[in-house]
Homo-oligomer: A and B are copies of this chain.
Amino acid sequence: MDTNLTGGAGTYDVSAFDRPSVAVDVAAITARGDRLHILLVRRGVWPFEGRWALPGGFVKMDEDLDTAAHRELCEETGVAGASYLEQLYTFGAPNRDPRTRVISVAYYALLPGPDSALRREGRAMVACEPEAGTDAAEARWWPVDSLPPLAFDHNAIVATALSRLRAKLGYTSVAYALLPEEFTLTELQRVYEVILAQELDKRNFRKKMLAAGILDTVPRQKREGAHRPAQLYRFTKREAVFLDD
C-alpha cells in the first residue's frame, strides 16, 4: 500500500487509508400543545429496521455539512422550512453503527409550529419533494417526554439537543424560530414554558422580554375567542441575537 502522505506538492494518495463514513443527523424540534416535539422517521432497512430514528444520512463528497443537514431533513421528512439550524456535536464512538465506522455530525433544527400550534393541533410539515430511494418509511412528530427507544445513539443526540436549546433560550433570542412572524406575548411565554418545562410569572416575563429590546410592536391585534384581544409583536431580528447588548 502506497501511503504517499509525505510527497511533494500536489501528491497525496487519497485511497491510502481506510476512512470512516460521515453522516449528519438532525433533531428537528417544534412546540405544539404544551409539549416539545421531535421529528422522527421509522427505519425501513437494517440496521434497526422498524425502529424510530432521527432523519439523517451520509454527507456527499462536495457538500457542506450544513447543506447536508438541510437536505437530509427535507428528503426524509418533507420538512423544508427550518428557521434555525445549528451544529450540535459530533458523535464518533467506534461502534455506534453496526454497519461500519460512521461518524455523525449532529444538528438541531427549530421550526415554528402549525398556525396556533400553541393552542390546537394541526399539520406542521411544509411541502418538499422527497427524492426517490430514501430509507425513511414514515415520518412523525413525537412528544419529547415520551419517545420510543431510538436507533443508534439517537436518544443521546436528542438529549444533547434539548439541553442546548434550553441553555440558548436563556441568553439568546432563539425562541423566534419556534414562533410565527407575529405572535402575542402569551404565545411567546408559552414557548418558554414548554422548553423550560416550568411555569413562568406573567408580569415578570413580560417585563423582561420588553426590556430586552428584541421585540417590535406591530400595529395589530389578535382577536380570538370571547375575551380581550392581544397585542401582536415580532422579533426585531429573525436570528438568534445575544441578550444584554
Q: Which residues of A contact B (CB under 8 A)?
A: 5-12, 14, 17-22, 44-47, 49, 58-59, 61-65, 87, 89-90, 92-94, 99-101, 103, 105, 135
| B90 and A46 within 8 A (CB) | no
Select which of B5, B21, B101, B103 is within 8 A of A17 by beta carbon.
B21
Chain B residue numbers with a CB within 8 Å of A9 are 46-47, 49
**Within the oligomer, what is the number of copies of this chain?**
2
Chain B residue numbers with a CB within 8 Å of A7 are 45-46
Task: Tell me the bound Cα distance from A71 to B6 in angstroms.
Answer: 20
Task: Tell me the bound Cα distance from A7 to B45 in angstroms.
Answer: 7
Select which of B19, B87, B89 is within 8 A of A21 by beta carbon.
B19
With A19-B19, A20-B22 as given contacts, are A14 and B99 in contact (CB-CB < 8 Å)? yes
Task: Tell me the bound Cα distance from A163 to B20 in angstroms.
Answer: 30
- Name the distance in Å between A128's Cβ and chain B's nearest Cβ: 22
| B87 and A89 within 8 A (CB) | yes
Chain B residue numbers with a CB within 8 Å of A11 are 46
With A14-B100, A20-B22 as given contacts, are A90 and B87 in contact (CB-CB < 8 Å)? yes
| B103 and A45 within 8 A (CB) | no
Chain B residue numbers with a CB within 8 Å of A49 are 9
Chain B residue numbers with a CB within 8 Å of A87 are 89-90
- A/B interface sample: 23 pairs, CB < 8 A: A5-B135, A6-B45, A7-B45, A7-B46, A9-B47, A10-B46, A12-B100, A14-B99, A14-B100, A17-B21, A18-B61, A19-B20, A19-B21, A22-B103, A59-B103, A61-B101, A62-B94, A64-B93, A64-B94, A65-B103, A87-B90, A90-B90, A103-B105
